[in-house]
Structure 1
Amino acid sequence: MTDRIAVREPIDSRHPAAGPRPRPPEPWAIRGELILNCNCTVFCPCVVSLGKHPPTEGVCQAWAGVRIDEGHYGAEVLSGLNVGLLLEIPGQMARGNWKAAAFIDERASEAAFAALVRIFSGAAKGTTGLFSVLVSEFLGAERAPVVFETEGATRRLMVGKKIQGAVEPVRGADPEREIVVTNTQYWMGPDITVATATQGRVRAYGRVWDFDGRSAEICQIDWQGP
């Protein structure tokens, strides 16, 4: 004898051809630093306009690098890995229709690689979930030797021969202090260091870009989801 009431299995009303239900995203978090260099001639207007103002050149072409100091996706450790990104936006950032590609650190395990693809495609939701809405064409995700180095104030990202970039903060009246736009609502983080690229070369996915001397950003990131 038992006092438990039998409960039927939940009914799946979806079409049989729909396939299995998508796996829900795991809890995840990433802390570290992001650098970005785009084709804007002056500091990117997207930071303060939140994507409502068009890029200075009408379209946005950019590369970015992420250094993960601490990170996890569920039980999978992401700490110590790097990621490179290629972004192409046809106008105002907030209007979407982005194209994007991801270069995942070749040191990542199979599980870490899959986790980082989910995070940077927006499938993991949370901070980067907007990618799933704004990116209309995900060009691909591939393993690559992604190196993120810091030497003094200079940050470098090297993704083989595909991305070779270096950015450094723009000097202010006090050379010991960085110029920082603080307390923003920018998706990457509230405090953005104004920088410029000393090197900004992309040779990937048919793109041939050289953005030396163009706008750059440095941001401490603290992202999480879902």
Structure 2
Amino acid sequence: MEKWALRGELILNCSCTVFCPCVISLGKHPPTEGNCQGWAGIRIDTGYSGDTNLSGLNVALLLDIPGQMARGNWTAAAFIDDRASDEAFGKLVNIFSGKARGTTGLFSVLVGNFLGAEKAPVSFERDGEKRRLVVPKKIIGEVEPVEGNREGGVVVKNSGYWIAPDIIVAKANQGRVRAFGRVWDFDGRSAEICEINWRGP
């Protein structure tokens, strides 16, 4: 199995009304609304899988989790940057479906229903501290950090969370999904921002 690595930034917005308890409980505490529905955006600053360059591409995910994250039975789907070559598309699908093992390998265990992946114009932009993800007619999201007591945002540090050890606590200014039969509006709800350094197998 070939080596792969992704470095960049991830943003996530979910249905929790306060900051996602999964970050601290590592998926053992139930979401605030009983189940977890959300979207994520990944900006790949540098990345590769085997000999295929993945740098500069973006990915969006849809996640629908019926209860505690650690119990699995997730439904998921992916939108892959339409600038990706067919080869890069295939490599990214392998990574985000868990088939490539490594950091995202848990997807192959936790996702019971992978709805598939499709190419789309996935835009991930930063304006100051705000991050914005757009998949036209599918996902529109904007998140920004929650202000701390001193200058800068609130950060959860040194967690065992699989995505990253340090998570910036954020909120969604906008979080709307219209895809795969889901119609979600999570404006004002829980969000996360973090640097990723994923690799496998």
Q: Tell whether 2:196 aligns with 1:221.
A: yes
Cα deviation for residue 26 of structure 1 reads 1.2
Deviation string, structure 1 residues 62-101 (Cα, Å, up to 9, x no partner)? 0000000000000100000000000000000000000000
Query: Residue 12 of structure 2 aligns with which residue?
Result: 36
The two structures, once aligned, show a CA RMSD in angstroms of: 0.4
1:141 and 1:170 map into 2 onto residues whose CA distance is 32
Secondary structure (helix, strand or coil) at the match of 1:133 reads helix
Give runs of aligned pairs for residues 92-111 of structure 1, distance below 5 A. Answer: 92-111=68-87
Matching of residue 125 in structure 1 with residue 101 in structure 2? yes
Aligned length: 201
CA distance in 1, matches of 2:140, 2:60: 10
- Mapping 1:76-155, distance limit 5 Å: 76-155=52-131
Q: CA-to-partner distance for each residue in 1:165-197, whole Å, 9 max, x for gaps? A: 0000001112x3111000000000000000000
Structure 2: tracts of 5 or more residues without a match: none
- Residue of structure 1 equivalent to 2:172: 197
5 Å matches for 1:157-176? Answer: 157-174=133-150, 176=151
Aligned to 1:20: none
Q: Which has the higher strand share?
A: 2
Question: Which of the residues 185, 194, 197 maps onto 1:210?
Answer: 185
Letter in 2 for 1:189: A
Consecutive unaligned residues of structure 1, counting only runs of 5 or more, are: 1-24
Q: How far apart are the structure 2 equivalents of 1:94 and 1:118? A: 21
How big is each residue's C-alpha offset from its partner over 1:191-211, in whole Å with a ceiling of 9 and x where there is no partner? 000000000000000000000
Letter in structure 2 aligned against 1:206: G
Could you list the structure 1 runs, at least 4 aligned residues long, displaced by more than 3 angstroms after superposition: none
The one-letter amino acid of 2:53's match is V
SS of 1:166's equivalent in the other structure is strand
Comparing both chains, which one has the higher relative contact order based on Cα–Cα distances under 8 Å and sequence gaps of 6 or more? Answer: 2
Which protein has the larger Cα radius of gyration, Structure 1 or Structure 2?
1
Q: State the one-letter code of the partner of 2:35.
A: V
Look up the SS of the partner of 2:87 in the other structure. helix
- 3-state SS, counterpart of residue 144 of structure 2: strand
Query: For 1:129 and 1:51, how far apart are their aligned partners in 2?
Result: 16
Structure 1 length normalisation: TM-score? 0.88
Give me the whole-angstrom Cα distance separating, in 1, the residues matched to 2:112 and 2:171: 28
Partner residue of 1:177 out of 152, 171, 186: 152
Secondary structure of 1:156's partner?
A: strand
Alpha-carbon distance in structure 1 between the residues aligned to 2:63 and 2:194: 17
